Structure 1
Amino acid sequence: MRTVLLGAAGTGTAFALASRIRAVWGADVRIVAVDINPAELVTTSLLADSFVQVPLVNDPAYEKCIRELIEAEQVNTFIPILNDEHVVAVNLLSDPALAKLDVWSSELYARCTDKRVADDWLSEIGVPTPMKPDLTEASRGGEWFVKPVNGVGSRGARRISAEELHGYDQATRETLIVQEVCKEPEVTVDSFHDDRTGASFVYCRERLETKAGVCTKARVFFDPELATIAKKIARGLRQRGTLCFQVMKGLKGWVVTDLNLRSGAGTAITCSAGFDVLAAAFACRAGEDYTKFLSPIAAGEEFIVTRQYAEFVMQHRT
Structure 2
Amino acid sequence: MTVGAAVLLGGSPYRRARRPLRSGRRLVPVLLDLLLAVVICAVGFRYGAGFLQVHEARWVAHVLDLVGVDSVSWSLERHILVFRPDGEVILAEVTESCSSILSVLGLTALTAVVLRGRRQHAVAGLVVAVAALLVLNHLRLAASTVAGLVWGTPALVLFHDWVGTVWNLAATLGGFLLMVCITLPTAERAEQDVAGRHTARRPDSWARPGLGYRPADDDPRAPSRRLNLTGLVYRYVLPDRVARWMGARREAERIDYRIGHLPSAERAARVRALAGDGLGAHAASLVAVATYDDDPAVLDALAESIAARQWEPVTNHRVAALRLWARGWLLQHPEREPASGARPDEREPPTQRLWPPADRPVPRPPVPVPPRSRPRARPDDPGRPMPSSLPQPRPPAADGPAVLVTGAGGPAGVAVVRRLVALGHRVVAGDADVAAAGGALAHTAVVLPRGDHPRFVEALLGVCAVYGVDALVSTVAEELPHLAAGAARLAAAGIATWLPDAAAVDGCCDKAAFARAMAAAGVPHPATATSADEVAGVPGPWVVKPVAGRGSRGVRLLDERAPVVQALREDDGLIAQTRLTGREFTADALVDRNGGLRVVVPRWREETKAGISVKGRTFASEAVTEVVAAALAAVGLTGPANVQGFVADDGTATVVEINPRFSGGLPLTLAAGADVVSAYLAGVRGAPLPELSFRPGVAMSRYFAETYSSADGSPVADPCAPVAVTA
Contact kept in structure 2, 1:79 and 1:104, CA below 8 Å: no
2:449 to 55, 67, 81: 55
Give how far 1:259 is off. 0.7
Inter-CA distance 195–37: structure 2 relative to 1 (3 Å threshold): closer
Structure 2: tracts of 5 or more residues without a match: 1-399, 717-727
The answer as to whether partners of 2:640 and 2:680 remain within 8 angstroms in 1 is: yes
Work out which of the residue numbers 577, 581, 605 in structure 2 matches 1:207: 605
Partner of 1:131: 527
Match of 1:21 in 2: 420
Counterpart among 628, 632, 636 of residue 230 in structure 1:
628
User: Which residue in 2 is equivalent to 1:194?
Assistant: 592
CA–CA distance in 1 between the matches of 2:636 and 2:562?
42
Amino acid in the other structure paired with 2:492? A
1:192 is displaced (CA, Å) by 2.1
| Residue 312 (structure 1) aligned with residue 707 (structure 2) | yes
List 4+ stretches of structure 1 deviating above 6 A.
none
CA 184–168 in structure 1, closer or farther in 2 if over 3 Å, else same: same
Post-superposition Cα deviations, 1:242-268, rounded to whole Å, max 9, x if no partner, equal: 221100147993221121001111011
Q: Which amino acid aligns with 1:52?
A: V
Tell me: CA distance 1:118–1:314, structure 2 relative to 1, closer, same or farther (3 Å). farther
SS at match of 1:305: strand
Give, in whole Å, the separation in 1 of the partners of 2:684 and 2:458: 25
More helix by share: 2
Match for residue 693 of structure 2 among 272, 295, 300: 295
TM-score, length basis structure 1: 0.84
Measured against aligned partners, the alpha-carbon deviations of 1:256-294 in whole angstroms (never above 9, x if no partner) come to: 1121001111011121122222222223333446536x3
Residues 408 and 414 of structure 2 are in contact (CA less than 8 Å); yes or no, is this contact kept in structure 1?
A: yes
Shift of 1:43: 1.9
Which deviates the most, 230-239 or 48-57? 230-239
Q: Is the CA contact 1:147–1:177 (under 8 Å) kept in the aligned structure 2?
A: yes
1:254 paired residue number:
653
Q: What is the correspondence of 1:37-52 to structure 2 with a 5 Å cutoff?
A: 37-38=433-434, 41-52=435-446
Given that 1:240 and 1:281 are in contact with CA atoms closer than 8 Å, whether structure 2 keeps it comes out as no
The answer to whether the 8 A contact 1:32-1:51 is kept is: yes
- The alpha-carbon deviation at position 156 of structure 1 amounts to 0.8
Shift in alpha-carbon separation, 1:198–1:103, aligned structure 2, 3 A: closer
Question: What is the CA–CA distance in structure 1 between the aligned matches of 2:518 and 2:420, rounded to whole Å?
Answer: 31
> Which stretch shifts more, 98-107 or 225-234?
98-107
The one of 477, 482, 486 equivalent to 1:92 is: 486
User: Match of 1:286?
Assistant: 685
Distance 1:97 1:237, change over 3 A: farther
Equivalents in 2 of 1:263, 1:151: separation in Å?
Answer: 16
Equivalent residue number for residue 111 of structure 1: 506
In 1, the alpha carbon distance for the partners of 2:568 and 2:610 equals: 31
SS at match of 1:284: helix
Cα distance change on mapping 1:127 and 1:74 into 2, 3 Å = farther
Where does residue 64 of structure 1 map in the other structure? 458
Contact 2:585 2:604 in 1 (8 A): yes
Which structure would you say has the larger RCO, counting Cα contacts within 8 Å and 6 or more residues apart? 1
Residue by residue over 1:40-75, the C-alpha shift from the partner in whole angstroms, topping out at 9 and shown as x without a partner, is x22211233332212333232333322332344443
Say if 2:557 is the partner of 1:153: no
- Give distance in 2, aligned partners of 1:307 and 1:50: 26
Mapped to 2, the partners of 1:188 and 1:5 lie a distance apart of: 26
After TM superposition, the structure 1 stretch with the greater mean CA deviation from structure 2, 196-205 or 256-265, is 196-205
Counterpart residue number, 1:31:
427
Distance 1:143 1:240, change over 3 A: closer
Change (3 A) 1:21 1:104: farther
When structure 1 is superposed on structure 2, of 68-77 and 133-142 the one drifting more is 133-142
Residue 641 (structure 2) aligned to one of 243, 247, 257: 243
- Tell me the distance in 2 between the aligned counterparts of 1:236 and 1:111: 13
Report if aligned partners of 1:9, 1:34 keep a CA contact under 8 Å in 2.
yes
Q: Give the whole-Å Cα distance in 2 for the aligned partners of 1:76 and 1:99.
A: 6
| Distance 1:77-1:167 versus aligned 2 partners, 3 A rule | same
Provide the aligned C-alpha RMSD in A. 3.0
Q: Deviations over 1:85-125 (max 9, x none)?
A: 11211211254735863143331343122222223223333
Question: Does the residue aligned with 1:60 lie in a helix, a strand or coil?
Answer: coil
Q: Supply the AA of the counterpart residue of 1:179.
A: Q
- Alignment pair present for 1:167 and 2:561: no
Point out where structure 1 has 5 or more consecutive residues left out of the alignment.
Answer: none
> Is the 1:244–1:259 contact (alpha carbons within 8 Å) kept by the matching residues of 2?
yes
> Relative to structure 1, is the Cα distance of residues 52 and 154 closer, same or farther in structure 2, using a 3 angstrom cutoff?
same
Confirm or deny: 8 A CA contact 1:93 1:103 kept in the other structure. Answer: no
Q: Aligned partner of 1:260: which letter?
A: N
* Bigger proportion of residues as strand: 1
Rg larger in 1 or in 2? 2
Amino acid at match of 2:445: F
Q: What is residue 121 of structure 1 aligned with on the other side? A: 517
Distance 2:688 2:421 in 1: 17
Cα distance in 2, alignment partners of residues 194 and 120 from structure 1: 24
Tell me the amino acid that sits aligned with residue 4 of structure 1: V
How much has 1:182 moved relative to structure 2? Answer: 0.8
CA distance in 2 between partners of 1:254 and 1:98 (Å):
44
Letter in 1 for 2:606: L
Structure 1 residues 211, 296: CA separation in 2 closer, same or farther (over 3 Å shift)?
A: closer
Deviation string 1:14-41 (CA, Å, 9 cap, x unpaired) is 11111111112x1xx3322211211xx2
What is the CA-CA distance between 1:241 and the residue it aligns to? Answer: 3.7
